Amino acid sequence: MDIKTDVCNGCGQCVIVCPVQAIRMVDNKAVIDEELCVECSVCYRDANCPVNAIRMKRLKWPRVIRVPFSNVIATHKVTGVPGRGTEEMKTNDVTNRFNIGEIGVSIELGRPGIGTHLENIELFTTRLSKIGVTYEEKSPVTALMVDDKGHINEEIKEQRVLSAIIEFKIPDKKLPQILEVIRKVDKEIDTVFSVGIVSRIKDNNTKEIMNRVSQLGFQVRPNAKINIGLGRP
Amino acid sequence: MTHSLHRKGIEKDLKKDYVVLAMLAAGFNDKYDDSRQKLIKIGEILKNHNPVNIMPEIGWRTSPTVTATFNNIKTVKKIIRILKKEDLGLSIVISGLISEIEKVVKEVDLGVHTIHFSLGNTFGRRELLPQEKILEITTMCGHHTVSSQSITHYLELIKQGKLTVEKAAKKLTKPCVCGIFNTSRAIQILNTLVKD
């Protein structure tokens, strides 16, 4: 993003709406911190700049990688879905992406609202790859990986984004190992992250998986996303 | 997108916060000519049930999803019943209190196919986060386009009598293009924050 300081009238509306606090006032003009800015375009869309001082810049590699991980309007070329995630369990009644005996995991780095450098992905993926997980092929994060050891493209590691979701599935028995990785990274990472667990449900018994996660020492929230099985191929 | 997965709040408040999503599965549903019309039909059903927020119609026609937000489970139950009868074959995901959704799904003779739940805590450097009540508002946008400082700014204007709670909630709703930001719940939370 770019703010034309010679045009800016100093109203500060863009400072208010920026989700990552990347805009500040300097000498009564709005200035973007290029390092903090994740290229989400919220200022462009929602600040209602009265003098049209906010512009979208043509971004070059590797900075352009910030866009699909931050701008909700952008559709990633791998997923075909607006936003930074995939269909995951939302269409599981059609795709059978997650079957009985498998668990899906979504780890969203930078959420809620803090943002992350892409290098943080490796804190998880280098460990997860040793355990042996099946990464979601259509995830934008999977597309960043350059080997089967969980390393990502060196060129984009310093890029900062609003959030990045590592999506994968495992056989049910590997759940304790995955939760152990979450415990370790919890103490090492320089930002926040949120974790979701996906489970195909047998006989309407949602308690089984939630109790299991609780017994492994993790809280479970009372709200969730529930696919009610009306889809078909 | 994990859209509504990590919404914060206590059970009492979450009883007034449900998101209904319909989605075309890529490579499956979208290979049929009438799939877009089916998605639009679901959008119209959702719109006709007084949502507190809904994805703009341009989204129904261009994206693989349609989403809407409701402030009571009774309406969600009515919608599920209609969608079951219509039998359009598209995936439907309800987001909200697990116990309430399970109950209504059972009452309309459907079941839980797949669940996606959030581990309770945010992990990592939690000290970077704003206070919990602010997070209850910001996490209502799944893409986190609602800034925490916009909430504190609007709260200040409300306290000065320069902005109403309702107008502030409307301003906070604007960045969420998916229509899953619960405007009526935001009003409730803002009222609580103004009193603090």
Sign of CA dihedral B75, B77, B80, B81: negative
- Taking an 8 Å cut-off on Cβ atoms, the answer to whether B91 and A92 are in contact is yes
A-contacting residues of B 14-33, CB under 8 Å? Answer: 14, 17, 21, 23-26, 28-29
The answer to whether B109 faces chain A, any CB pair under 8 Å, is no
User: What is the structure's pLDDT at A82?
Assistant: 57
Chain A residues whose CB is inside 8 A of the B121 CB are 219
Q: Which residues pair with A117 in a beta bridge?
A: A160
User: What is the structure's pLDDT at B2?
Assistant: 54
Q: Which domains does chain A have, with CATH numbers?
A: 2-58 (3.30.70.20), 72-215 (no CATH)
Instruction: Convert the pLDDT of each residue in A92-112 to its tens digit.
Output: 999 999 999 999 999 999 999
Q: Report ipTM (2 d.p.).
A: 0.96
Averaged pLDDT, B125-144: 95
Close Cβ partners of A49 (under 8 Å, ≥ 6 residues apart): A11, A13, A14, A43
Averaged pLDDT, B59-72: 95
Measured from the Cβ of residue B111, the count of other Cβ atoms closer than 10 Å reads 14
Does pLDDT of B104 surpass 50?
A: yes
Size of interface A-B (CB pairs under 8 A): 279
Averaged pLDDT, B105-119: 97
| Closest Cα in chain A to B108 | A228
Mutation target to probe the A interface, by most A beta carbons within 10 A, among B23, B126, B144, B178 is B144
- Taking an 8 Å cut-off on Cβ atoms, the answer to whether B116 and A88 are in contact is yes
> B71 to chain A, minimum CA–CA distance in Å?
14
> A4 to chain B, minimum CA–CA distance in Å?
22
Q: Which domains does chain B have, with CATH numbers?
A: 11-107 (3.30.70.1110), 127-195 (no CATH)
Identify which has the larger pLDDT, B38 or A138: B38
- Taking an 8 Å cut-off on Cβ atoms, the answer to whether A17 and B150 are in contact is yes
Model pTM score: 0.95
Does pLDDT of A80 surpass 70?
A: no
User: What is the structure's pLDDT at B1?
Assistant: 43
Partner residue facing B2 (CB), from A21, A85, A204: A85
Averaged pLDDT, B161-173: 97
> Could you give the CA distance from residue B102 to residue B104 in angstroms, rounded to a whole number?
6
Partner residue facing B124 (CB), from A16, A98, A191: A191
Residue A131, CB-side half-sphere exposure with 13 Å CA sphere = 23
Partner residue facing B175 (CB), from A20, A46, A224: A46
- Taking an 8 Å cut-off on Cβ atoms, the answer to whether A231 and B91 are in contact is yes
- What's the one-letter identity of residue A169? K
| Closest Cα in chain B to A139 | B1
Element holding A220 (H helix, E strand): strand A220-227
> Could you give the CA distance from residue A209 to residue A211 in angstroms, rounded to a whole number?
5
| Closest Cα in chain B to A99 | B114
Contact (CB, 8 A) for A34 and A2: no
- Taking an 8 Å cut-off on Cβ atoms, the answer to whether A73 and B14 are in contact is no
The backbone torsions φ and ψ at residue B120, rounded to the nearest 5 degrees and listed phi first, read -50, -50
